[in-house]
Amino acid sequence: MGVPHISTPVLRFFRWIARGYFRRHFSAVRVSEGARWAKLPDGPVIVFANHSSWWDPMVSVLLASRYMPERRHYAPMDAAALHRYPILKRVGVFGVERHTARGAAQFLRTGLEILKCGGVIWITPQGRFADVRERPLEFKPGLAALACKLDGGCTVLPMAVEYTFWDERLPEVLMHFAEPIRVEGETADELEETLKAALLEAMETLKAKAIARDPAAFFVLLKGRAGVGGFYQLGQRAIARLRRRTYQPEHTAVAATTQDEQG
């Protein structure tokens, strides 16, 4: 199979589409501990995350363009599902047969070729959609086996992601990165337990931050839409202009202004 071909024009277009999707459908995309990308050494990198939503691959597109734009990024996908979205083949997604020995061998072979060529692989080891509250975490085979097969080792970065509502009409995308893990000499079984523990810790940390609802705990990667939208928002904008005030569509900003006026 070899390293999948990435079309630069198609990738640029797809990234543009992804940013537009997030702006329309979310209030904001927020990242916690994004600086840990700076700790990643040169060499093979695998990013792995929990898998709770259809949006997960789109999240990886945003993050790849923000934190490692100079490198090529790839992700495995069920071959049958990929057949429905052929454009993904041109942006680094490669098909893998599920539940077969041939599929497992194909994944390892392609993954090793990608990593040896300096590519970054994004993996959701749960292998299915799973609620962020589901415990214990269960991984499909592949992630640990791939990381252990690389001569000279590799770096694995755990990432937790949630999609949750805070104060606005649209939900938030929240992400948290754990400390990078250097893989050198572990067995696949040992490494899998380490990776499960790391992802679980990242998910629990993100859960606490989501519950706290503190935007200051995150860096805003992308700002989306705020306010109620529609004709009501047009009316509020017109009223603000008549009163010579700066219009603030955010619900929290309106609430704070009301409290100040009453106080």
Q: How confident is the model over 53-66, as a mean pLDDT?
A: 94
pLDDT at 2: 80
Residue 261 has pLDDT above 90, yes or no: no
Helices 56-67 and 8-25: angle between axes, nearest 10 degrees: 120
Distance CA 60, CA 73 (A): 9
Residue 101 has pLDDT above 80, yes or no: yes
The rounded mean pLDDT for the chain is 87
Residue-wise burial string across 194-228, b where 16 or more C-beta atoms lie within 10 A, e elsewhere: ebbebbbebbebbbebbeeeeeebbeebbebbbbe
pLDDT at 248: 56
CATH number of 8-222: 3.40.1130.10
Distance CA 30, CA 163 (A): 10
Residue 175 has pLDDT above 50, yes or no: yes
pLDDT at 253: 44
Band the pLDDT of 154: cuts 50, 70, 90: very high
Q: How confident is the model over 122-147, as a mean pLDDT?
A: 95
Looking at the chain, the whole-number percentage of residues with pLDDT higher than 90 is: 70
Distance CA 257, CA 260 (A): 5
Q: How confident is the model over 247-255, as a mean pLDDT?
A: 49
| Count of residues making up the chain | 263
Q: Where, residue-wise, is CATH 3.40.1130.10 in the chain?
A: 8-222
Distance CA 27, CA 169 (A): 8
Residue 197 has pLDDT above 70, yes or no: yes
pLDDT at 236: 54
Residue 89 has pLDDT above 70, yes or no: yes
2-28 pLDDT per residue, tens: 899 999 999 999 999 999 999 999 999
Residue 35 has pLDDT above 60, yes or no: yes
pLDDT at 41: 85
pLDDT at 244: 60
Highest mean pLDDT among 1-15, 163-177, 234-248: 163-177
Q: How confident is the model over 45-60, as a mean pLDDT?
A: 96
pLDDT at 238: 55
